[in-house]
Structure 1
């Protein structure tokens, strides 16, 4: 449980310019049931930072069933490299089978990614977050100017909190740039997803992710057929709520 002295707004202001490690220390100090969400992309940086502060940290990942082979191999590499237990969350098979039976495997190209992401990502995440007090993400403000430009380092999760239960969300890399992330990866020689070597910057499901061209923003490689300001799968839907 969180400390009764945990004032989210005050701490968000106090820590807004502090280092990711300081934000992580704050999270570990105040929360016992704290989990880190790892996607298998460049959020390896926040996992590495957190693990160095607490080798016993709890980590989960979402297996949508549509990830790249390279991502699956990377997840296993990370599990072994850090010696951590990686809790893999999967979609409800009955709901997923019914969706695919009715609408096929590529419905999202015609009708938007919302329903598919809702089944493969949001529902499993909601089940998990309903059991925890706080979670850590690798969100950065520079990832998506349309939806993430104002991401705070700590916040009440607007998407997954309920009237009865407040969920706290930490975004230690909020102030980091893509360059900061890759400087960290290179200098410390930590593992990374090999898709990055092929022009993939923002990595999600295989059908909905593609490499970006020079001078394209990284988020242009995700759901490229949709309007740019709505490029959230729902994991961080609070960004859209805050924006609107």
Structure 2
């Protein structure tokens, strides 16, 4: 689907009588206000191929397209992918396909190779064109916990590489660890790299996420169809 179609799709849903409409409208309002406050070029999205950030990306694409004067893609969407050790190959394939579909300018931060499992084959990432890959310093690994030291290091790398980015859209929900303590917009902790955390779907339930994906026929990672609830990779 072209981005113009995505915009028409999500805003039509927001203006409808569908049970999802209030949540979609709220999320779009949070996204749009953040883009206005921080500047469209200063906001990126955290994307790891999971269902929640897939919903968020679809909403962001619609919000950005509505701001554009034509249906042609004029700029890419800044994004960061913080990889876990030994991610599933099918997950990385989905991320690559999504990158192409939504025109993501995706920066990838990977853990040290010694932290991965050799028996699990992961796709080789090209280091040319718009593909950015950075590796974390060796002793500390990323992916052990959602808010761990690896995450902090990844954001430090991202801040140094893209100092103009001021806010990051995140698919956090209330049921996530620490989700009950955050609001739609809040800063990272003082001892972390300073970004505004933007959480447009914080009030969505698990069921809301799947209803949105299936009702709007949004492509999602096929691992969910095999019974996976969380997609993180092997250790």
> What TM-score, normalized by structure 2, do the two folds share?
0.64
SS of match in other structure, 1:192: coil
5+ residue gaps, structure 2, are 1-22, 66-75, 113-134
- CA shift digits 1:203-232 (9 cap, x unpaired): 22323xxxxxxxxxxxxxxxxxxxxxxxxx
1:83 and 2:125 correspond: no
The offset of 1:19, in angstroms, is 0.9
The offset of 1:202, in angstroms, is 2.2
1:26 and 2:33 correspond: yes
Q: CA RMSD in A?
A: 2.9
- CA shift digits 1:101-138 (9 cap, x unpaired): xxxxxxx9xxx946xx534x431222214522111100
Tell me if the contact between 1:91 and 1:124 (Cα under 8 Å) persists in the aligned partners.
no
Number of the residue aligned with 1:51? 61
Could you say if the C-alpha distance between residues 151 and 202 of structure 1 is closer, same or farther in structure 2, counting changes exceeding 3 Å? farther
Task: Show structure 1 runs of 4+ deviating over 3 A.
Answer: 91-95, 159-162
The offset of 1:94, in angstroms, is 7.8
Measured in 2, the distance between the counterparts of 1:29 and 1:201 equals 34
- CA shift digits 1:120-169 (9 cap, x unpaired): x431222214522111100000234xx3223211112126656xxx5311
5+ residue gaps, structure 1, are 1-15, 101-107, 208-244
Measured in 2, the distance between the counterparts of 1:53 and 1:129 equals 24
Measured in 2, the distance between the counterparts of 1:177 and 1:20 equals 13
Number of the residue aligned with 1:211? none
Number of the residue aligned with 2:154? 124
